[in-house]
Structure 1
Amino acid sequence: MLSRAALRSVVARQSTPTALVAARGSASEVSGVRDEQNFPRPVRGEPGKVRLGFIPEEWFQFFHSKTGVTGPYTFGVGLTTYLFSKEIYVMEHEYFTGLSLLVMVWFATKKFGPSVASWLDKEVDAVESSWNEGRKETIQTLEQAIEDEKKSQWRAEGQELLVQAKKENVLLQLEAAYRERAMYAYSEVKRRLDYQLEKATVERRISQKHMVEWIVNNVTKAITPDQEKQTLDRCIADLGAIAARK
């Protein structure tokens, strides 16, 4: 129980640096490049095994390689006997008070130790879970930031496609304007050519009419009254000959 309380105090003093290390490590974990070998994650320490309630297991292991299993107990009993026999530790009235306190502590440990230890374990687990929760929230935030960045890149690519489509639309508009102007030029040229053709046709018709009238007038002027009478008589004779043949 006492070892767990000491562990809880040490963890509380080291809470801020460890949380910072965990937060920094979470960002590297998202990227997948954390160096776990050189920069391992902090792990919650567990109290070592003890015997007789307060003597560390390492003490017995130290004697075990030299004196065997009974060495630590023999050393403890011999040392206590030596202290009592040489009156280095005097058993005065305070001794019995300490013995009474030791019995009370032993009883309290047996009676309330498991419940207190369970409560302290829950407190330590709550602190650890809060740290892990913060680390998980940081990881989720960074993952969401990565997803948002991917969406932003996708939207940027869409903007590139949109700009390309706008460029093609402008080129199509330029092509349509060019063809419209080419058609306008063709229509204007054709209209002018049709005008010139019609003008030439009218001039030719007028010239022909004027030439015919001029020839007719000159021929009419050249015919004398005798020639006209002779021609008229000849025509009457021809008509009579034609009528006689019928």
Structure 2
Amino acid sequence: MLSRVALRSAAARQSTALVVRGSATEVGGARDEQNFPRPVRGEPGKVRLGFLPEEWFQFFHSKTGVTGPYTFGVGLATYLCSKEIFVMEHEYYTGLSLALMVYIAAKKLGPPLAAYLDKEVDAIETEWNESRTDSIKSLENAVEAEKTAQWRAQGQELLIQAKKENVLLQLEAAYRERLMNAYTEVKRRLDYQLEKSNVERRLSQKHMVDWIVTNVTKAITPDQEKQALDRCIADLAAIAGRK
């Protein structure tokens, strides 16, 4: 009974400390696990004789020594029995037999039961930790997926920019092609006009030359032609004499 009271008081103090610590660490939405680590499952304190807390013996040890707690217990029991404050009737011996059976059962069945219960507690704690770890891992995977999606979105922006540049290049190529077609057509027409002018000029010159030769030929009389021929012969003879 006394050990239960001590354990309850310790649990109450721990729960109060956890409430204060939780209120101090949850400010801002993030837990400061470095300065305020997560609570660890507490273990019950040490006891002697199966039900007396170790703190009682430490309290007597500083005043009466090592045998003080036992002397106090034996003296108190002797006083209660001698003054018949605690009457040892048949229920007392029944209680002794029950206590003996409980002691034997605790010694025989206590360690396996304690190991089983500890195993169950560890399994529950492991399951909770696994669920917490899985939640953290899923959140980390979600963060990585979000980063990947952001990276892909940036790639889509680059792809759209490249497509815009390709469209601009295609427009520039089409513009230059049309400009070259216009230049070629204009040059072809100008070449045609130039060739036409050249042909007309050659025809005009040929026609003019033919007309002049014809008119000159018509204007020369037979006497003028004979005189010119004689003069040419005389000139050739003079040139031949010089040589």
TM norm structure 2: 0.76
Which of 225, 228, 233 pairs up with 1:231? Answer: 225
Higher RCO structure (Cα 8 Å, ≥6 apart) = 1
Mapping of 1:104-183 within 5 angstroms? 104-183=101-180
Partners of 2:223 and 2:209 in 1: CA distance: 24
Aligned residue in 1 for 2:39 = 42
TM norm structure 1: 0.75
Deviation of 1:153 (Å): 2.4
Deviation of 1:65 (Å): 1.9
Aligned residue in 2 for 1:17 = none
Which of 95, 98, 123 pairs up with 1:101? Answer: 98
Question: Amino acid of the residue matched to residue 162 of structure 1?
Answer: L
Which of 206, 213, 216 pairs up with 1:216? Answer: 213
Deviation of 1:199 (Å): 1.6
Question: Amino acid of the residue matched to residue 172 of structure 1?
Answer: L
Structure 1 outlier segments of 4+, above 4 Å: 232-236
CA offsets, 1:89-143, max 9 Å, x none? 1111111111111011001011111111111111111111101111111122122
Question: Amino acid of the residue matched to residue 122 of structure 1?
Answer: K
Partners of 1:72 and 1:163 in 2: CA distance: 86
List alignment gaps of at least 5 residues for structure 2.
16-21
Partners of 1:37 and 1:233 in 2: CA distance: 137
Percent identical across equivalent pairs? 71
List alignment gaps of at least 5 residues for structure 1.
15-20
Question: Amino acid of the residue matched to residue 132 of structure 1?
Answer: N
Aligned residue in 2 for 1:73 = 70
CA RMSD of aligned residues (A): 3.3
Partners of 1:155 and 1:135 in 2: CA distance: 30
Count the aligned residue pairs.
218
